[in-house]
Structure 1
Amino acid sequence: MFFYVLIVMIGVVCGPLMRQVQAADRPNVIIVITDDQGYGDIAAHGNPIIKTPNMDRLHAQSVRLTDFHVDPTCAPTRSSVMSGRFSTRTGIWHTIMGRSLMNTKELTVAETFKAAGYRTGMFGKWHLGDNYPMRPQDQGFDHVVWHHGGGVTQGPDYWGNDYFDDTYEVDGKYHKFEGYCTDVWFGEALSYIKANRDKPFFVYLATNAPHGPYLVADKYADPYRKQGLTDTMARFYGMITNVDDNLGVFMQRLDDWQLAENTILIFMTDNGTAAGMRGNKTWRGFNAGMKGNKGSVFDGGHRVPFFIRWPAGGLIGGRDDNVLAAHIDVLPTLVDLAGIKKPDGPPLDGVSLAKRLLDPSMPMPDRQLVLHQQRVHTPIKWRNSLVFTERWRLVNKDQLYDIEADPGQNKDLAGQYPEVVKKLQGRFDKFWDSLQPVYNDYSRIGLGSDAQNPTTLMSHDWLVEDYKYSPWNQARVAEGLVGSGPWAVNVEREGEYEIALDRWPLYIDKPIGAKHAKLAIGDKTVDADVDPSAASAIFRLHLTPGPAMMQSWLTGEDDKVRGAYFVRVRRLP
């Protein structure tokens, strides 16, 4: 009898932990991250207009981190999710201008799971570098289906894409798809899961929706137009409802294939709402009482949904947890939940929330987290900055808000709590000082590697000082923005190289429209007259290995000088 009672007691006390160990032997892991969808853009969070029944269902089945934070914009958040480190530390503090390229010294969550024997797939938006060695296939993913740049229709994206029947890259080659972009990402992810369901897999499913331009079928936008919403908001909400439809099919397939039970499924977003507050008198929008939206260091810019469901591990039941957490915690948390070993890599900024998720009574240490929204060539101290704890938000160095008493951040208490201000300022000082080595470093595009030869560089990644000189999107290229900037590159192998300067992507088949071309790479400079009707200006150079800056200039028939928006580099046999 004593033996029976002992066994029962062990089961009661250790049951959840045993379930964790057994399930974590080989759980699948899926991260679904949407683009520009805010905390208030989900019906389950109190939005009375938007229709998100499947997000609501996942919300009801998950542990919800209600005080979860990311960076206020796209690429920085994604670098932190991938690395478990503050985004600036990875080399990213912008979404363009060569500062959205992740340092290849980072150890990604994909590399971590791949080292543990997982199959790894990535679908949708990457936004951490379009060239070797920063592409998703260079950063731990076995199979990738993705668009270039920070969004469909941006400069590095395949020209002619408009969200419908687009051309995306599949494992290094372009492939034309049928259907809406979000449908493609979910469909390709399901095909990958189906083919690998007998093996453990890690899937990163990152939709570009509902990022602008706000393009979606009328059947999704019309129901919101009929309720009197602005056209922009109707399309934005329609894109989210389309994501929701896909999420519903996705979760049903996991059930059908008996994968849901032992799959860690995370749903999150990359920053605050982009268009969810662009309303009118009929419907202004819903932001869950928060101030700010995408790009803001007030809570509406960075507090986002985070649902995590893992039935076999006990992460079920629709439970809220208000523990302070952030994107930097995703990697260490997944490592612990899955019971895998993290390879050696740079020190993490995030902490594991695994024990807290499994046992909500588990205390967590007080934390002082930091973020800043720079969007400049070189970061400026205190620019769009935030230091935050469970209670306090120190905004832009000298504004202090008690988020528990004042969730709308309407009353500045800095004058009443100078000691809190000083303490949090000290935290930012340490954060800033720790990042100093990064500010003058560059994430360099590889030239001449066997992994990508030839490679095409695009002006989205020019290292320019001012946003107005960055031809980061197709519209600026089409209008012929005047200016030029360098790319930070690394010549991987010595040899003869052919470098072609282009005004347009080669597949567009338009003339260069320039009468003179000039190229500089490292200490080499070459120039030549050009036939304006030619497609390209082509140079041949002998390059030696090592880091360099590469820049181009095209003198047009109008005598204006522009950089080549596209440069193709090929190491010759």
Structure 2
Amino acid sequence: MLRITQYKQGKPDGPESIGMENIMTHKLSVWLVLLLLAVSPAAHAAQRPNVMLVITDDQGYGDLGCHGNPVLKTPNIDSLYAQSARFTDFHVSPTCSPTRGALMSGHYSNRAGTWHTIMGRSILFEGETTLGEAFSSGGYATGMFGKWHIGDNYPYRPEDRGFGTVVRHGGGGIGQTPDVWDNAYFDDSYFCNGQIEKRHGYCTDVFFDETKKFIQGAVAEGKPFFAYLSTNAPHGPMLCPEEFSAPYREQVGEKQAVFFGMIANIDKNVGELRAWLKNEGLAENTIFIFMTDNGTAAGARIHNAGMRGGKGSQFEGGHRVPLFIHWPEGGIDKPVDIDRLSAHIDVLPTLQELCGLPEQEDYEIDGVSLMPLLKDPQADWPDRVIVTDSQRVLDPKKWKNCSTMTQRWRLVNGKGLYEIAKDPGQKHDVSKEHPQVVEKLRAAYEDWWQSLQPALARHAEIVLGNPEENPSRLTCHDWLTDDGGHSPWNQATIRAGQSTVGDWAVRVEQAGKYRITLRRWPAEAATPLTDALPAGSTVPGMEAFRETPGKALKIRSAGIQIGDVKLQRPAASDAESVEFEAKLPEGSERLRCYFELADGSTIGAYYADVELLSN
């Protein structure tokens, strides 16, 4: 019997050998399933696989036991790893929204509009097909749970993008500016199909529990399901139940202990979800996918699988992440390492092919289906160029924090060249020894950059006056700020009174009379504009955003600017808001809402509700 020896990425801890008959069984099973899907519509409807996609936040490649972490224990994800096709050269963007935009759309994040995490540049453009739309058009029940982070207003919310059931927080994390006020991971309120509803328990537990409820509903309706479960953990602030962080406190520092505790909680939930799917008779025909959204935020000091860089970095540790795919009925349930270069842009076309989903006409995807590699990990796979970058600015800059990748090479920032198999830690720049490779990869980047130009000239405009969201709740998270600063992206910055001013890119859908209500504190805080707020209560872990005391501001007036409309009026010290009414024409505009303080300085109005009153 021919034996194929494979080694885990990261810390090698022994070979895994699988027999050739298992590989042949794997190939045959996948082909039989695909053949069945193609035979007849009836067979297709009866046999389509369910899809469970779990993506975690800020957990790096090395933040797993199966990838050699010497401290962190992840037995349940390790078990999934041991039964999956593992893509060992899989890449995403180095930060949150960019990865999610590319994952959802099959387009590079810069083409999709999501090249930052705030400042109006974390919103997935209109016209981008999403995984939710692809699955719903194929007759699937679709659910989204946890972190969305590619648009909090119509028409960018998950319920506007093909997801029939939604339980999510706002912005890029719990306690960020668009989120429900004073959320702090425990016993929070979430946006549930557009309505704010209270849930009890730790956030990750809530999202997994809501996923199970959704799956039960889909099964009851006789529909296959696509569940997108996107945890905000282990993104900061580092908060989790004490029972999960305590085992690590004596081995690592407090921050790393809570970070690992958040991952340990995810691991527990992954194990419970997989056991539940098995008990429900759903595991065999469910494609279970596990991945993360970027490099580690807090674990590199402990273990980074030999890579350079972490979250936000253009080096390998910023964007190479796990991708595990498990599907017993499709023959994908044996440990197989697939070392071909792949990326987040490949997930949509892969799932379209695996699940027989209709493809949208005139929608050219940047990624490719990984199906040939799932059928045969040793299949011929043409060398390709993939680009990832970390922009985090209002308008992208050429060559900024980028990696232009092939199977063999990494060209970093258009200058440094690394032969990745020989130098996984990217310590040795060999650009002088291989100038022809540098020239070739620079040319590929130039072509890629040129193809992005129409997208880079666009803005994702929040739509005003549509009945799907009226009033629209705007937050400073999405200000377009061009002064080099950051919009106030979390509730601690609101409490501290950050002095930034910015504009929202909006599109007035219907001309008419509008009410624009300006707030320093969100409506649910029920606090006068000028008042201070006490620090919020503590929760287990590090400091929550709500623990920052709310600063009193001497606001004396408020104003708005949109198109030709410029209005200003005094602000009563005991008022919770200042209201304006104005007739707005249809069209695209910039909306600026601000407060003038007693010392003559100006700050932005952190929250604004815009409501169409009449046409």
Range into which the TM-score falls when normalised by the shorter chain: over 0.9
**Contact 2:63–2:303 (Cα < 8 Å) also in 1:** yes
Please list, as runs of the form range in 1=range in 2, the aligned pairs for 1:148-547 lying within 5 A after superposition.
148-197=170-219, 198-226=222-250, 228-277=251-300, 284-466=301-483, 468-513=485-530, 514-547=555-588
Match of 1:20 in 2: 34
Distance in 2 of aligned mates of 1:270 and 1:469 = 22
1:449-490 deviations in whole A, cap 9, x for unaligned?
110111110001000024535211112111111231100001
What SS is found at the alignment partner of 1:261? Answer: coil
Report whether the alignment pairs 1:110 with 2:132: yes
Shift of residue 71 of structure 1? 0.2
What SS is found at the alignment partner of 1:169? Answer: strand
Distance in 2 of aligned mates of 1:76 and 1:196 = 30
What SS is found at the alignment partner of 1:547? Answer: strand
Q: Which moved more, 1:60-69 or 1:465-474?
A: 465-474
What SS is found at the alignment partner of 1:152? Answer: coil
Structure 1, unmatched stretches of 5+, are 1-9, 278-283
Match of 1:280 in 2: none
Shift of residue 22 of structure 1? 3.1
What SS is found at the alignment partner of 2:341? Answer: strand
Distance in 2 of aligned mates of 1:98 and 1:444 = 8
Shift of residue 318 of structure 1? 1.1
Distance of aligned partners of 1:447 and 1:47 in 2 relative to their CA distance in 1, 3 Å threshold: same
Shift of residue 528 of structure 1? 1.4
**Contact 1:118–1:200 (Cα < 8 Å) also in 2:** yes
Shift of residue 516 of structure 1? 1.3
What is the identity, as a one-letter code, of the residue corresponding to 2:186? F
**Contact 1:398–1:414 (Cα < 8 Å) also in 2:** yes
What is the identity, as a one-letter code, of the residue corresponding to 1:419? Q
Report whether the alignment pairs 1:30 with 2:52: yes
1:181-234 deviations in whole A, cap 9, x for unaligned?
0000000001110111231111100000000000011111110013x2100000
Shift of residue 563 of structure 1? 1.0
Shift of residue 519 of structure 1? 0.4
Distance of aligned partners of 1:469 and 1:286 in 2 relative to their CA distance in 1, 3 Å threshold: closer
Distance of aligned partners of 1:201 and 1:13 in 2 relative to their CA distance in 1, 3 Å threshold: closer
Match of 1:79 in 2: 101
What is the identity, as a one-letter code, of the residue corresponding to 1:407? P
Distance in 2 of aligned mates of 1:67 and 1:301 = 13
**Contact 1:69–1:327 (Cα < 8 Å) also in 2:** yes
What is the identity, as a one-letter code, of the residue corresponding to 1:241? A
Distance in 2 of aligned mates of 1:559 and 1:113 = 53
**Contact 2:295–2:319 (Cα < 8 Å) also in 1:** yes
Shift of residue 64 of structure 1? 0.3
Structure 2, unmatched stretches of 5+, are 1-23, 38-43, 531-554
What is the identity, as a one-letter code, of the residue corresponding to 2:252? L
TM-score (ref. length: structure 2): 0.89
Distance in 2 of aligned mates of 1:499 and 1:560 = 22
**Contact 2:508–2:584 (Cα < 8 Å) also in 1:** yes
1:518-571 deviations in whole A, cap 9, x for unaligned?
101122211112212211110111122211110012112343211100000111
Q: Which moved more, 1:199-208 or 1:335-344?
A: 335-344
What is the identity, as a one-letter code, of the residue corresponding to 2:354? L
Q: Which moved more, 1:527-536 or 1:266-275?
A: 527-536
Distance in 1 of aligned mates of 2:276 and 2:376 = 29
What is the identity, as a one-letter code, of the residue corresponding to 2:213? S
What SS is found at the alignment partner of 1:158? Answer: coil
Match of 2:73 in 1: 51
**Contact 2:485–2:500 (Cα < 8 Å) also in 1:** no
**Contact 2:337–2:377 (Cα < 8 Å) also in 1:** no
**Contact 1:384–1:396 (Cα < 8 Å) also in 2:** yes
What is the identity, as a one-letter code, of the residue corresponding to 2:151? G
Match of 2:14 in 1: none
Report whether the alignment pairs 1:62 with 2:84: yes
Match of 2:40 in 1: none
Distance in 2 of aligned mates of 1:460 and 1:249 = 35
What is the identity, as a one-letter code, of the residue corresponding to 1:533? D
**Contact 1:469–1:481 (Cα < 8 Å) also in 2:** no
Distance in 2 of aligned mates of 1:163 and 1:74 = 18
What SS is found at the alignment partner of 1:145? Answer: strand
Of the three residues 594, 602, 612, the one matched with 1:561 is 602
What SS is found at the alignment partner of 1:468? Answer: coil
1:18-76 deviations in whole A, cap 9, x for unaligned?
13333674111111000000000000111121110100000011100000000000000
Distance in 1 of aligned mates of 2:185 and 2:451 = 41
**Contact 2:174–2:183 (Cα < 8 Å) also in 1:** yes
What SS is found at the alignment partner of 1:472? Answer: coil
What SS is found at the alignment partner of 1:273? Answer: coil
Distance in 1 of aligned mates of 2:294 and 2:243 = 26
Shift of residue 312 of structure 1? 0.9
